[in-house]
Amino acid sequence: MDNKILYFDHAATTPIKQEVLEEMIPFFKDHFGNASSVHFMGRGARKAVEASRERIADSIGCTDREIFFTAGGTESDNWAILGTALKEDKGKHIITTAVEHPAVLNTCQYLEAKGFDVTYLPVDEYGAVSIDDLNKAIRKDTILISIMLANNEVGTIQPIEEAGKIAKEKDIIFHTDAVQAVGSVSIDIKKLNVDMLTLSAHKFYGPKGVGALYIRKGLGILPFTMGGNQERKKRAGTENVPGIVGMGKAIEIAVRDMEKNRQHLTVLREQAIQQILETISNVKINGHPHKILPGILNLSFESVKGEAILLMLDRLGIAASSGSACASGSLDPSHVLLAMNCPHELAQASVRFSFGVDNSTEDIRCLANNLKTIIEKLRAMAQKP
């Protein structure tokens, strides 16, 4: 086996694309101006920020005035939820799902402690919510529904269009976390019926620490930070100009290359499933059989600990994850798998492989070969008294 590093953790973060980096560099150096300065240096930065805003708006089918830059997916999720909950006086009930990212779950838990009532919709064995359950959960005092577009641990895609339709009918504000979807699923604001949508650049080969929140025109949520006049007084603070420039370039490429990338990732995922299931016994695939992101493969290896697998892969220079990067390091089983009714033992036996555009068929073969050896070793160890 060669010593090539194998990265299968693209759902945690992706490497920045060379073209993206190249567009960013001038804004660290010669064009370092503050986008709020009125002199020529500021105007240059402002122009770049607004050009990026337009690229992002074009990529998801909204207007540039509806895009607000943030410091990433977590901030966008926090803002969407807090900015709605703390403003709406129609009620104190929020609906979300049991499988959201911690950026949504922990924000909802914070609001619960402040007197809000939160319904966490259950999911089926594949991780999907049901529209029926959503309908039943809606109350007179429901002010917000937040359902992710695609899950970061198992890849399951949620019925956002239908959920949005219901929210619209009932006049309830609807937010979706689309962080994992960009580049794999086409996002068209006009079709989605959403009021707010979260994006994060580092999940689509852009820079870390920059994201955006789409806020439908006319929806007056509270500002996230108070200070200067940036982002139309809704998110004060000097703009991360290089990051914003990188995000615009990255989303343009992600949308342009989506079909090609989706095909590539689908092939890799199929190959991984075929090779791993062929050579290793008692492996279960977690996630939806077809409503799923092409790049995420979550597997449970019966009677071995996922953490042990990850450690042995790590030693070989193979990066994978136990699910949410934010939860890894803890030995608690994934809240997503538990919500899918996956038994505790199988939840702890799970590993998430998330593939990227630079992965090859050869990478998958190498992964499958190494996994076979690792699982055999771990299962043999478990057999010994």
Ligand X SMILES: *Cc1c(COP(=O)(O)O)cnc(C)c1O
Closest residue to bound ligand X by CB: 73
State the Cα–Cα distance between residues 94 and 109, nearest whole angstrom: 11
Closest approach, Cβ 77 to ligand X, in A, equals: 6
> What kind and span of H or E run contains 97?
strand 93-97
Among the options 62, 108, 326, 366, which is catalytic? 326
Contact 201, 223 (CB under 8 A): no
Nearer to ligand X, 55 or 202 (CB): 202
Interaction site with ligand X (CB under 6 A): 72-74, 77, 101, 103, 148, 152, 177, 179-180, 200, 202-203, 211
Contact 251, 59 (CB under 8 A): yes
Closest approach, Cβ 200 to ligand X, in A, equals: 3
Per the annotation, the verdict on 326 as an active-site residue is: yes
- What does the block give as tokens for 303? 């009677």
Q: For residue 127, give the nearest of 97, 105, 107, 102 by alpha carbon.
A: 97
* 79 phi/psi in degrees, rounded to 5: -65, -45
Contact 122, 100 (CB under 8 A): no
What is the number of other CB atoms lying within 10 angstroms of the CB of residue 258? 18
State the Cα–Cα distance between residues 52 and 34, nearest whole angstrom: 16
Closest approach, Cβ 152 to ligand X, in A, equals: 4
State the Cα–Cα distance between residues 45 and 41, nearest whole angstrom: 7
Nearer to ligand X, 73 or 356 (CB): 73
State the Cα–Cα distance between residues 366 and 368, nearest whole angstrom: 6
Closest approach, Cβ 331 to ligand X, in A, equals: 21
Nearer to ligand X, 9 or 88 (CB): 9
State the Cα–Cα distance between residues 170 and 161, nearest whole angstrom: 14
Nearer to ligand X, 147 or 318 (CB): 147
Task: Give 290-307 as a DSSP string.
Answer: SSB-TTEEEEEETTS-HH
Q: For residue 17, give the nearest of 146, 150, 239, 203 by alpha carbon.
A: 203
Could you give the residue ranges of the DSSP H alpha helices within 178-323? Answer: 189-192, 230-233, 241-256, 258-279, 306-315
- What does the block give as tokens for 324? 């949410």
- What does the block give as tokens for 136? 């039943």
Nearer to ligand X, 71 or 312 (CB): 71
Closest approach, Cβ 277 to ligand X, in A, equals: 26
Maximum CA extent, the chain: 75
Nearer to ligand X, 167 or 179 (CB): 179
Closest approach, Cβ 227 to ligand X, in A, equals: 21
Nearer to ligand X, 213 or 276 (CB): 213
Closest approach, Cβ 187 to ligand X, in A, equals: 13
* Catalytic residue IDs: 326
